[in-house]
Chain A
Amino acid sequence: MRYSYYPGCTLSSTGVEYGQSVAAVCEVLGIELVELEDWSCCGSSSAHALDHELALSLPVRNIALAQPAGMDTLMPCPACYQRTLRADRRLREDEAWRREMEALLGFAYDGQGRPRHLLDVLGHDLPAEAISSRVRRPLKGLKPVSYYGCMLVRPPKLTGWDDPEHPVLMDRLLSTLGAEPVVWSYGVDCCGGSLSLDRSDVVKTLVGRLATAAAEAGANCIVTVCGMCHINLDTRQQGTQMPVFYLTELMGLALDLPGQEQWFNKHFINPLPLLASLGLVGQRR
């Protein structure tokens, strides 16, 4: 399996461990990632708060870069995915705008490849056995709640690959890894997103509610596939110390891939005591 790869800015800044674990997991699962050369901003956060046109035309540049390879583009960040998906949809539906974009960027849109989120690819393109057959260390005793965040599976008219209110894909993958996912009601709630910078009080309230709800549901950790969610959950908890993992980190752990400690060292809330208590620490090979 080959995909064009758009890592986005988070994976080389606050989400370094996400990027590293994505690379490690994809490699071992036979998912070849071809990073787009000279990719640029996806238009999220600042751009779409300031200028809707700009926020939609920025991702078109990346769509144009991806087009020659003719493959779907894998994106680990929900915000990048969301922006690019929106732009791609508008290219398909708004002919006048498409012509404008084509003139602006000097390409002819052919609509072959599509933007895809990592979770969609892992859950739908990959047979479950591809993962389960490689699990060396089942994550027994790990009771995660799946946290999709507010934008990954929404709006359903754009995404359409999981239930927009009660998504199930992450639970399914976590079960494949041997973890025991816990049902809760907050999987698609908001973490506060980029308000973390200017209204940290809002983010603290929202994150506080998520962490408390996870604990009340009987979970011992939270799993996410979003860099923004991760940093908010990891840095804005009040009173609780609920470890927050990227899904790919847990896959790396279960598949016993090298580099794990390096990833977990990046966390503010140290997950190692939890993993140690469950006997899940240290590479085994």
Chain B
Amino acid sequence: MRKIGIFVCHCGLNIAGTIDVQRVVEEIKKYPGVAFAADYKYMCSDPGQALIRQAIADYGLDGIVVAACSPAMHEVTFRKAARAAGVNPYLTEIANIREQISWVHQTQPEEATRKAIETIATIVEKVRYDEALVPFSLPVVKRALVIGGGIAGMTTALHIADAGYPVVLVEREAQLGGKMRQLSGLYLNFDAAPDLLETKIAAVMQHPNIQVLTNAEVVELGGYVGNFTVKISSRFQVPGYKLQVPGSEIAQSGINPQPETLQPETLQPETPQPETFTFDIGAIVVATGFDLLPKSELGEYGGGRPPDVIDGLQFERMLAEGEIRRPSDGAVPKEVVWVQCAGSRDPELHMPYCSKICCMYVAKQAMAYKQRVPDGQAYVFYIDIRSQGKGYEEFVQRAMTEYDVLYLRGKVARVFEEDGRVVVYGVDTLSGKAVEVQADLVVLATAVVPSAGARDLAQRLRVSTDEYGFFSEAHPKLRPVESLTAGIFLAGAAQFPKDIPETVAQASGAAAKVLGLFAQREMVQEPTIAFVDEELCAGCGLCVAACPYEARVMHPWKPIAVVQTALCQGCGACVVACPNKASSLRNLSTEQLLTMMEPVL
């Protein structure tokens, strides 16, 4: 019979403040199979772990139960400690007496203590029948997928490719470049965006390690970190853009559509036969960028009706094309109003968050406008100026002092068209006066929102988004470039609005995380997965249908089901589905579960 040691943690007063740990130790000592029991203030501390190692040596323990916090916190810690003393880590289990007992039953110490004793007893039963397992090793596929061909995606792709690993770069549009393609000169020194971008695009296109797929989208994701299987659908092929893809399997080959040779009658709507490619991928970087909140959403600012009310990207196009002329009549606008926080910082009606990039690009646009129309007047309505970045505040100050941009601190109430001009009702909260400007052109710094389709993509990738559709980082402070799904990383405005320098920084961080993963020779997989008892399996296939991870297939010729160990996540759906009880989970067998129930019945 297994000799089991029990280690009860006080967690300061977190546990001991509610549960009578001494009594727990006394009671559990009497339980069959328990060879040793002790309590300690902080079991996860070095002395706590030393206590475990010492007890293993002194009492010859071959099973360990640590009664402490959730296994999500310290299961790994204690399994390492046990292994160091010669006990198989899978014979070390956690009884969660903190989150599930002491924290939730603070007003009932008596019952909490009883529940703790019973819970530990169930885990003793589990350990009694646990097998000494060995983790699997799986190879890491050292090819990365980058979704989104804007500045974020291209930066990530180049870093990974430069390190020598192949990258598949998927872009939904026909061309690389993303939103940066629409920009003119950039702050702080009016660098021409197209020049910077073309250099990047050329580097990406010419890189031997980067495979670019444009007009393409990720349609399906299987597998897990290190061993993803990704299906990518290319809507149509752009000559010169789609490169040959060595090592990928072309699942469905379509004929290159040549609309010009077709008769008009037979011309199909814009849906040339899509091709689907399947790739084995080790790591994924999501860099899908942003969109602007449509002006039609901003009824108070004209709802997209007045032609001379435009958004920031439309003004960028004007700057890029050289001449600033208003859309309605082509006149050069002499009075131009920028409305900051148009749809941002507006919890009542629109987005409550700050879109972060507007303060800076508005200052840049107003300066660029004054460079081209020196006798024009530029107004900027703002709530606060958020110029947090190296040289940013000085830049905004220059807009005010050198370019005479009139900054008015207050929110614009309404924008509407009248007699060929655009009327802006605002307020200058510094003077306390209502302000009305008869403008020729109004530029709305509309809120930055996630790229269209981001939510759908998130579902396909099984990564989470926040309430607005931005991809969620694993930890807001310490893991800002990782998603909550292992092996999927984030870069750029897909995660939250950010400007180019910050995007590039995050993209570099994402690349570093991918390279860190690729530097591992192999990935270790938990052995606590499902297996099939071939003697009992009748080959009915119910488990194949039940498995959500495609980890179960029929044997090629024998009438039995087989577990694909690399894909199994140990969820147990097959155990429930199996009518013959041939499916079982390692170290969580049906027999084990029934035995574990004994102490609480």
Contacts and interface: CB of A to CB of B under 8 A. Distances in A.
A157 B346 CA distance: 14
Given A155-B348, A156-B349, A185 B303 contact: no
Interface in B333-368: 348-349
B303 A166 contact: yes
A165 interface: yes
A32 interface: no
A163 B299 contact: yes
Interface stretch (B67-75, B273-281, B416-424): B416-424
Given A155-B348, A156-B349, A166 B299 contact: yes
Interface residues of A, number: 11
Contact of B423 (A155, A164, A165, A185): A185
Given A165-B300, A166-B299, A185 B417 contact: yes
Nearest to A185: B416
A196 B417 CA distance: 28
Nearest to A186: B416
Main secondary structure of the interface of A (DSSP, over half): loop
Contact of B418 (A155, A157, A166, A185): A185
Interface in B416-447: 416-419, 423
Interface in B296-325: 299-300, 303, 305
Contacts of B419: 216
Interface in A107-128: none
A170 B349 CA distance: 23
Interface in A160-216: 163-166, 185, 189, 213, 216
Contacts of A189: 414
The size class of the interface chain B forms with chain A is 10 to 19
Contacts of B299: 163-166
Interface in B399-420: 414, 416-419
Contacts of A155: 348-349
A111 to B, nearest CB: 24
B2 to A, nearest CB: 53
A213 B348 CA distance: 29
Contacts of A157: 348
A157 to B, nearest CB: 8
Nearest to B306: A185
Interface string A131-155: 0000000000000000000000001
Contacts, number: 23
Given A155-B348, A156-B349, A185-B423, A165 B418 contact: no
A166 B414 CA distance: 12
Contacts of A164: 299-300
A116 to B, nearest CB: 23
A165 B300 CA distance: 6
A152 to B, nearest CB: 15
Nearest to B419: A216
A157 B305 CA distance: 23
Given A155-B348, A156-B349, A185-B423, A165 B303 contact: yes
B265 to A, nearest CB: 42
B117 to A, nearest CB: 39
Nearest to B418: A185
Interface string A201-233: 000000000000100100000000000000000
A164 B348 CA distance: 13
Q: Which of A156, A165, A166, A216 counts the most B-chain CB atoms under 10 A from its CB?
A: A165
B352 to A, nearest CB: 14
Contacts of B414: 165, 189
A189 B300 CA distance: 11
Nearest to B301: A165
Contacts of B423: 185
A87 B259 CA distance: 62
B301 to A, nearest CB: 8
Nearest to B416: A185
Contacts of B303: 163, 165-166
Nearest to A189: B414
A155 B417 CA distance: 23
Contacts of A156: 349
Contacts of A165: 299-300, 303, 414
A163 B304 CA distance: 14
A166 B416 CA distance: 11
Contacts of A163: 299, 303
B413 to A, nearest CB: 9
A164 B299 CA distance: 7
A46 B419 CA distance: 39
B227 to A, nearest CB: 47
A154 to B, nearest CB: 10
A164 B419 CA distance: 23
A189 B349 CA distance: 17
Q: Looking at B305, B348, B417, which has the most chain A CB atoms within 10 Å of its CB?
A: B348
Interface string B453-486: 0000000000000000000000000000000000
Given A155-B348, A163-B303, A164-B299, 14 more contacts: A155-B349, A156-B349, A157-B348, A163-B299, A164-B300, A165-B299, A165-B300, A165-B303, A165-B414, A166-B299, A166-B305, A185-B416, A185-B418, A216-B419
The 3 closest A-B pairs by CB, nearest first: A165-B299, A185-B416, A165-B300
7 contacts: A163-B299, A164-B299, A164-B300, A166-B305, A185-B416, A185-B417, A213-B418
